[in-house]
């Protein structure tokens, strides 16, 4: 009898299909004997399993069981993926008057937050293995902000010049710290760690950030991170690793 809490790996097509039909989580292994078969109905397929680290197998299990990935730890904070239980805290952070002045809502007005998070996990985290992450303070597990990288899809609300277009093909760094926890160095701390992670683990060569010139605290963080102003569009900042 198969255990529903386990992640199964197999290069046998029949076993893989039987496990999947029985509601088990299975990752097929590509091999010479199953190459003609299409595994398009499976979320993940791997090859050369001996070259995959134990940590990545744990992450596969977490992804398929909808468990958030722990991304990294800083001196005072933890960065992890978003879960459904984080929705109230995210809404609180983004609806504070000081946040709405420069930041668009995290949840678009025409979406249901729970559906948005579900789609974000399935279509962003699963595809890119990065995105916006929760900033959790280690001392009390309190959510104090968000930070991470995304590919911006809609530029219609930005008045940008054509010179900026190539830059916007790279990941965008975004960050926000809840109002009661600002001016304590958290933004720089988590952004610095996220940037290092982007370079070492994600292989980023360049990232950009958008900050309104009047958003002085964010601009100061970007300058401290060694971002450079793009010049042509003064609200766009970039960093080349």
pLDDT at residue 47 above 80?
Answer: yes
pLDDT at residue 8 above 60?
Answer: yes
Q: Distance from CA of residue 58 to its chain's centroid?
A: 18
pLDDT at 2: 58
Query: Strands 25-28, 77-80: parallel, antiparallel or unpaired by DSSP?
Result: unpaired
**What's the CA angle centered on 90, arms 85 and 92, to 5 degrees?**
115
pLDDT at residue 157 above 70?
Answer: no
pLDDT at residue 1 above 70?
Answer: no
pLDDT at residue 117 above 80?
Answer: yes
pLDDT at 164: 80
pLDDT at residue 101 above 90?
Answer: no
**Given pLDDT bands bounded at 50, 70 and 90, which one contains residue 181?**
very high
**Given pLDDT bands bounded at 50, 70 and 90, which one contains residue 232?**
low
H/E segment holding residue 70: strand 70-73
- What the block records as the tokens of 232 is 């042509």
pLDDT digits (tens, 9 = 90+) for 160-177: 777 787 888 999 999 999
E strand residue ranges, 107-235: 132-137, 143-150, 172-177, 206-210, 228-229
Query: Do 105 and 135 meet the contact criterion of CB atoms below 8 Å apart?
Result: no
For the chain, percent of residues with pLDDT exceeding 90: 71
- What the block records as the tokens of 119 is 């789609």
Mean pLDDT calculated for residue range 156-160: 70
pLDDT digits (tens, 9 = 90+) for 68-89: 999 999 999 999 999 999 999 9
pLDDT at 153: 78
**What's the CA angle centered on 208, arms 81 and 92, to 5 degrees?**
40
pLDDT at 78: 98
For the chain, the first-to-last Cα distance in angstroms comes to 51
Residue from 167, 205, 209 nearest 191 by CA: 209
Q: What phi and psi, each to the nearest 5 degrees, are found at residue 84?
A: -60, -35
């Amino acid at each position: 009898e198969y255990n529903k809490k386990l992640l199964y790996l197999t290069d046998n097509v029949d076993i893989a299909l039987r496990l999947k039909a029985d509601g088990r989580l299975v990752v097929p292994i590509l091999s010479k004997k199953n190459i003609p078969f299409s595994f398009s109905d499976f979320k993940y397929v791997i090859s050369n399993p001996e070259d995959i680290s134990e940590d990545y197998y744990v992450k596969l299990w977490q992804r398929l069981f909808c468990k958030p990935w722990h991304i990294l730890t800083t001196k005072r904070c933890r960065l992890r993926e978003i879960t459904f239980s984080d929705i109230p805290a995210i809404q609180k952070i983004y609806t504070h008057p000081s946040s709405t002045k420069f930041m668009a809502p995290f949840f678009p007005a025409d979406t249901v937050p729970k559906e948005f998070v579900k789609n974000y996990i399935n279509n962003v985290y699963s595809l890119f293995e990065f995105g916006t992450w929760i900033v959790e303070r280690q001392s009390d597990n309190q959510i104090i902000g968000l930070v991470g990288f995304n590919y911006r899809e809609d530029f219609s609300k930005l008045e940008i010049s054509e010179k900026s277009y190539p830059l916007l093909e790279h990941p965008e760094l975004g960050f926000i710290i809840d109002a009661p926890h600002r001016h304590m160095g958290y933004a720089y701390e988590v952004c610095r760690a996220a940037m290092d992670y982007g370079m070492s683990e994600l292989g980023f060569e360049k990232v950009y950030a958008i900050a309104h010139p009047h958003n002085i605290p964010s601009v100061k963080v970007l300058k401290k991170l060694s971002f450079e102003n793009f010049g042509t569009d003064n609200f766009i900042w970039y960093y080349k690793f």
